[in-house]
Chains A and B, each alone.
Chain A
Amino acid sequence: MAEIRLENIQKYFGAVHVIREVNLTIKDREFCVLLGPSGCGKTTTLRAIAGLEEIDEGRILIDGKPVQDLHASDRDIAFVFQLYALYPHLTVFENLAFPLRATRMPDAGVRKSVTSVAEAIGITHLLKLRPSALSGGDMQRVAIGRALVRRPKALLMDEPIGALDAKLREQMRVELKRLHLENGSTSIYVTHDQVEAMSLADTVVVMHDGVLQQVGSPSEVYLRPANLFVAQFIGSPVMNIADAQFRQEAGRSSVVLHGEAFEIPSQALTMIASKPAKDIALGIRPEGVVLSHAESPGAHQVGVHLIQPYGPFDIVDLTVGTSTLRARTASGFVSGKGQRVWASLDASQAHFFDKATGASLGFRLE
């Protein structure tokens, strides 16, 4: 098991700068998820760590040892590919044994290791089959088994369950988490699915345009997004973002979104005034938009535009001025389009961003 450290990694594909100045430390036994939209450089970063992609600048250290000039085969890490990459001409047993054969391990040892890893991932009954006879989930189990069998220093996974259907994905997610808890191998996992990232990770690394946007625990990136990109990328449905103007009149402070005023604590105005940012964007997740059927102080009457029932809750689009605001309500709370309800903002769930840089102003109201 190992600590992996990236220092000032730079990578170009021709003129395209795909990894920009990436610095990251993944601690021993940590499960780190690289999260970002496609083309953000997360897979390239992973492949660079594996040695499948050369980097143009910087250093990659595994347990303090620079490996950026070593061949993939000399880095002692395992890689799980999105499309499994099981060898079609070999049986499941031979697929699992393949990495061990590279080390010229004697047959008895190979059999023992393969059997024990097959038991751990529950595929003992499949050992004699060819990959083409397996279901997608089983193929991915075998692929993960092949990665674990050698007890590598680190386990790298490139969207390993992205090709499975939703139900199987959920099941495999749980299995991956269990395997990680049992084996404790340092793991780096690439995905564009924030649910996978949040549920699996010790550390989430959000990437965009080859730049690390934020590194933190799942709750950190959810509760304290470092910038507008992270705020909008994490969380479903997406956080409401609106240009915000602040007003103070008759002892009440309010924020104007899309031309409509919502009351917020005056503390917010003092905090914002202390920051150098000129234009402010306010972000609030749907659960921070509170609806009520009765008028309440500071609330604002709005019309219901669209209702998406999710089962345990509804997502309701409200018409606010020229735009919409999205709220999360108990299911069935509003009955239909056109209904008028009272909306207020839960200020403790509001995020403030500098519009010019996109960066968070770095405070939350208590």
Chain B
Amino acid sequence: MGTVTSAQQKLGNRLANVMIVVALIVFLAPIYWIGSTAFKPRNLATTVPPTILFTPEVSPFVKLFTKRVQLKPNEKVDYDNAPWWEKIVIDGGERISRSGKGEVQLSGYPSRFLNSLIVAITSTFLAVAMGTITAYGFSRFKVAGEEDWLFFILSTRMLPPVVVAIPMFLMYRAVGLNDTHIGLIILYTAFNVSFAVWLMKGFIDEIPREYEEAALVDGYTRMEAFWKIVLPEAATGIAATAVFCFITAWNEYAFALIMTNRKAQTAPPFIPSQVGSGLPDWTVIASGTALFLLPVAIFTFLLRNHLLRGMSFGAIRK
């Protein structure tokens, strides 16, 4: 480019690059740890110092998805006829438990993962939808006591949610919402909606009113103008808000632990619960965690362009 750089600036650039590398190492080290442990043989998972070089295995993933029992000292298994993935488990001193009909029994992980998806996606959709409409109202119409309402909406986030966990649990039990998808969805939507309102209000404030006014004089109703003009223009903001809401709902641990135990349990409380069953198998926990990271990573990656624009959006006044 045409910019003139001085020697000092070059040094500054180099320093900045070094800082970025250092920051990346700090941020990515835990990810690497989880990722590598997910493919380690069980005996290498807990060595001190950590094993860096090893032959990767898929056994942790096989174990993650299946129900297993320890082999008894003199137990005979049909090793020769077992499929390759079952052999890995038998090699580790366990066997996959089967139903009476001989079908492989799945572990709790797939259904917990599905629960996480259902709860996080639904609550994100609800929170963003409600947040966008509410923000539009605050942004475009005269609302009596607007400032107070907005403060009130945000005030729901001013104490740690866990503080209200016990009363919430009692209320949920009384109305039969504990251990249900709908219960968690309501809870996460309520967490996120205040955040979504504030974030979306900023984005919608940035959309010039003239766009809608142009649509209004051109023969559209306000609702149509909202759908055809405001929503497409707010897409960036909606994407950014959705990512934040999804991450919050996806990663929520405390309430999921308290409010659910089986049917509607999400992955976060399930994964560590595996530490307690038998001897801790860290490779299985790591593989469960690694898979659990993927949806957020994919979601964020798909929306990354919107997200980057979204974060800097509104930082500069026209």
**Which residues of A line the B interface, CB within 8 A?**
50-52, 71-73, 75-79, 81, 83, 85, 87-89, 98-99, 102-103, 146, 150
User: Chain A contact residues: over half helix, strand or loop, or mixed?
Assistant: loop
Pick from B210, B211, B218, B235: contact of A102, CB under 8 Å: B218
Inter-chain CA distance A214–B219, complex, in Å, is 33
With A85-B208, A87-B229, A89-B233 as contacts: A79 and B217 at CB distance below 8 Å: yes
B217 with A89: CB separation less than 8 A: no
Find B217's partner among A51, A83, A87, A103 (CB 8 Å cutoff). A51
Q: In the bound complex, what is the Cα–Cα distance between A83 and B218 (angstroms)?
A: 16
Contact A52:B217 (CB < 8 A) given known A88-B233, A89-B232:
yes
List residues of chain A with CB within 8 A of the CB of B213: 50, 52, 72, 79, 81, 85
Least distance between B231 CB and chain A CB atoms (Å): 10
In the complex the two chains form, is A98's CB within 8 Å of B208's CB?
no
**What's the Cα separation between A265 and B211 when bound, in Å?**
59
Q: Is the CB of B219 within 8 A of A73?
A: yes
- B220 at interface, CB cutoff 8 A: yes
Chain B residues lying within 8 Å of A83, measured Cβ to Cβ, are 208, 210
Assess the B221–A85 pair: CB atoms within 8 A.
no
Q: Per a CB cutoff under 8 Å, which of B214, B224, B235 touches A81?
A: B214
**A245 CB, min distance to chain B CBs, angstroms:** 52
- In the complex, are the beta carbons of B217 and A50 less than 8 A apart? yes
On chain B, the residues within 8 Å of A146 by CB distance are: 214, 218
Could you list some 18 contacts between A and B, CB below 8 A? Answer: A50-B213, A51-B216, A72-B213, A73-B219, A75-B217, A76-B219, A79-B217, A81-B210, A85-B211, A87-B214, A87-B232, A89-B232, A89-B233, A98-B215, A98-B218, A102-B219, A146-B214, A150-B218
What residue of chain B has the Cβ atom nearest to residue A156's Cβ? B217
Chain A residue nearest to B318 (CB atoms) is: A83
Cβ–Cβ contact A77 & B233, under 8 A:
no
What residues on B are CB-neighbors of A51 within 8 Å? Answer: 216-217
Across the interface, B214 reaches (CB within 8 A) one of A71, A75, A85, A88, namely A85
How many chain B residues touch A (CB < 8 A): the figure is 17
Complex alpha-carbon distance, A85 and B217, angstroms: 12
Known: A81-B210, A83-B208, A85-B211. A52 touches B216 (CB 8 A): yes
Chain B residues with CB under 8 Å of chain A are 208, 210-211, 213-221, 224, 229, 232-233, 235
**Closest chain A residue to B211 by CB distance?**
A85
Tell whether, in the assembled complex, residue A72 and residue B233 are in contact, meaning their CB atoms are under 8 Å apart: no
A81 vs B17: C-alpha distance when bound (angstroms): 46
Q: A83-B208, A87-B211 are in contact. Are A72 and B229 (CB under 8 A)?
A: no
Known: A85-B208, A89-B232, A89-B233. A79 touches B214 (CB 8 A): yes
- The closest CB in chain A to the CB of B212 belongs to A85
- Given A76-B219, A89-B232, 5 more A-B residue pairs with CB atoms under 8 Å apart are A51-B217, A71-B221, A73-B220, A85-B210, A150-B219
CB <8 Å contact, B218 and A99: yes
Contacts of B233 in A (CB 8 A): 87-89
Chain B residues with Cβ under 8 A from A50's Cβ?
A: 213, 217
Distance A51 CA – B208 CA, assembled complex (angstroms): 18
B-chain residues with CB within 8 Å of residue A73 when the two chains form the complex: 216-221
Chain A: minimal CB distance from B168 (Å): 42
Q: Which of A50, A52, A73, A98 has the most CB of B within 10 A?
A: A73
CB-based nearest B residue for A74: B219
CB contact under 8 A between A72 and B216, given known A88-B233, A89-B233: yes
Taken together as a complex, chains A and B put the C-alpha atoms of A349 and B210 apart, in Å, by: 44
How far does the Cβ of A4 sit from chain B's closest Cβ, in whole Å?
Answer: 14
- Known A85-B210, A89-B233: A99·B216 in contact at CB below 8 Å: no
- In the bound complex, what is the Cα–Cα distance between A75 and B216 (angstroms)? 10
Nearest CB in chain A: distance from B212 CB, A? 9
Residues of B within 8 A of A76 (CB): 219
A72 CA / B220 CA spacing, docked (Å)? 9
Residues in chain B near residue A88, CB distance under 8 A = 233
3 smallest A-B Cβ distances: which pairs?
A102-B219, A85-B210, A99-B218
Instruction: Quote the shortest CB–CB distance from A8 to chain B (angstroms).
Output: 24
A78-B215 Cα distance, complex, nearest whole Å: 10
CB closest residue in chain A, given B215: A98
Q: Which residues of A contact B217 (CB under 8 A)?
A: 50-52, 72-73, 75, 77-79
CB neighbours of A52 from chain B (8 A): 213, 216-217
Residues of B within 8 A of A71 (CB): 216, 221
CB-defined contacts of A81 to chain B, threshold 8 Å: 210, 213-214
